Amino acid sequence: MMPQSRAEKTVRNLLTSAGIAIDGTEPWDMTVHDAHVYSRLLADGVLGLGETYMERGWDCQRVDELICRMLRAGLEEKVRASAKLILQVVRTKLINPQTITRSREVGRRHYDVGNDLYAHMLDDDMTYTCGYWKDAETLDQAQQDKLKLVCDKIGIERGMRVLDIGCGWGSFARYAAKRYGAQVVGITISKEQACLATERCRGLPVEIRFQDYREVDERFDRVVSLGMFEHVGPRNYRAYMQKTCACLDEGGMCMLHTIAANTTLQTMNPWIERYIFPKSKLPSLKQIMDAVEGCFIVEDCHNFGPDYDRTLMAWHHNITAAWDRLCDHYDDRFQRMWNFYLLSCAGAFRARDIQLWQIVLSKGGIPGGYRSIR
C-alpha cells in the first residue's frame, strides 16, 4: 500500500468529520480512483469536486447524500479558496455579468442544450422549476399543483393580461391560458425554448417572444417570474423590480418564485457557474427585499425549499431511465456533469443550504389585506 500524501490525509480527516469515508460501505462514501483528486479538492473546493467527478476521478452511490453531509458539516468553509475563486469575486465586483448581451449566454449554454434532454427529464408540461409536493405523489401532479398555486396566489382571472418573465417551454403560459382564460406574453432568452413554447402554445391566447425583460415596454395585470431571478444578478436587482413595477397596472400583482441563498453571497457556486448556469447568482432574501423597497408591497413569503429536493430527484430518476435514448447525442462526460448538477443541488436543498421562495408582491397594496394561500 502506497503511503498517504498530506493532501489525502487532510481530505480523509475532513470527510471523517462529516461522517464520510473513502472506500467505505455507506452509499454516501467516496471511492477515489485517482490520487490527484485529493489535491484538487483542497485547491479548488467544490469546483474541483465536480470536475474530478466528471473526469471519473471518484465515484459515489449517492452523490446527493454525499453533498448533503458535506454541507451540513460546513466542509466548504474549511477548504481554502483558490486564486481562481478569489479572481471570480473580484470580477463580479468590477463588471456587470448580466447585461442584455451577456445574459443571453445562459440561454445558449444551458437552455439550448437540447429540447430532447429536457423533454425526457421534466414532467409532461416541461416545467423546469420546483414542484409543489404538499398533496402530490407524482412529478406531473406536483408541477400542476405548483402552477395552480401561482395562479391562485396572485388572483389570475379570465381576460387578464399576464407577463411571464422567463417562460421556459411555456408550461405556465399554457396553464394560465387554458385553465384561467388569461392572455399571456411569455419572454425567454433561449431560442430553443421560444421555438418549442410557441409550438406548444399554438391555438391559445399566448404570445412567446425571444426577448430580455429589460426590453419589455407594456402594461399588464399580473407579472410572473418562475425560476428566472437567479439569472438577474445583484447589479440589476433594483432595475429588475423597477421594470416589473413599470410593467404593472395600478393594483397589479407579481409572483417572484426563486431559489435563494441563506446569506448574501459574493459568488455563485463556481462549478454551477462554470458548467450549468453561467453568469448566474443566487439572491438572498435581504437582497430581494432591498430591491423591492419602494416598488412593491410584500404581501406574502412562502419557503418550500425541501420540495426542490424531491423535484430534483424525480428529474434525476427520469433522465437516468431515459439515458439509453439520449446517449447518442450526449457523451459520458456530459452525463456525469448532468448527474452531478441534479444530485448536488438536491443535496444542497436537503441540507437547507439553499431555499425556494415564492414572494407575492402588489403595486400599492391589496385593499383590506392579503390572505395567504398554501
Helix (H, G, I), strand (E, B) or coil at 189: coil
**Contact indicator for 166, 231 with CB cutoff of 8 Å:** yes
Q: Decide if pLDDT at 90 tops 70.
A: no
Q: 96: Cβ–Cβ under 8 A, 6 or more apart, which residues? A: 102, 233, 235, 236
d(CA 236, CA 283): 11
pLDDT over 90 percentage in the chain:
85
Q: What is the mean pLDDT of the chain?
A: 91
Tell me the C-alpha distance between 302 and 53, whole Å.
35
pLDDT digits (tens, 9 = 90+) for 171-208: 999 999 999 999 999 999 999 999 999 999 999 999 99
pLDDT at 270: 92
pLDDT band at 120 (very low <50, low <70, confident <90, very high): very high
Q: With beta carbons less than 8 A apart as the criterion, state whether 130 and 307 touch.
A: yes
**354-362 and 297-303 beta bridge pairing:** antiparallel
Sign of the alpha-carbon torsion through 257, 349, 53, 49:
positive
The CA distance from 218 to 215, in Å, is: 10
pLDDT of 93 higher than 70: no
| pTM score | 0.91
pLDDT beyond 90 at 125:
yes
For 240-290, the pLDDT digits (tens) are: 999 999 999 999 999 999 999 999 987 788 999 999 998 889 999 999 999
Average pLDDT over residues 322-328: 93
Residue (of 72, 105, 3, 128) closest to 348 by Cα position: 72
C-alpha cell at 234: 445583484
Under DSSP, the state recorded for 254 is: E
pLDDT of residue 101: 56
Percentages of the chain per state (helix, strand, coil), in multiples of 5:
50, 15, 35
Judged against a pLDDT cut of 60, whether residue 94 lies above it is answered with: no
Residue holding cell 463556481?
270
List of E strands, 98-247: 161-165, 183-188, 206-210, 220-226
User: Which string of b and e fits 121-154 if b means at least 16 CB within 10 Å?
Assistant: bbbebbbbbbbbbeebeebbebbbbbbbbbbebb
Which set of grid coordinates corresponds to residue 50? 465536480
Catalytic residues: 345
- 207 phi/psi in degrees, rounded to 5: -120, 125
How does 45-65 read in b/e, with b if 16+ C-beta sit within 10 Å?
bbbbbbbbbbeebbebebbbb
The pLDDT value given to residue 276: 93
The Cα 194–Cα 186 span in angstroms is 9
> Is residue 119 a contact partner of residue 169, using CB atoms and an 8 Å limit?
no
Average pLDDT of the residues in 332-342: 97
Whether 258 and 280 have beta carbons less than 8 Å apart is answered as: no
* Better-scored residue on pLDDT, 88 or 363: 363
Q: pLDDT tens digits for 210-235?
A: 999 999 999 999 999 999 999 999 99
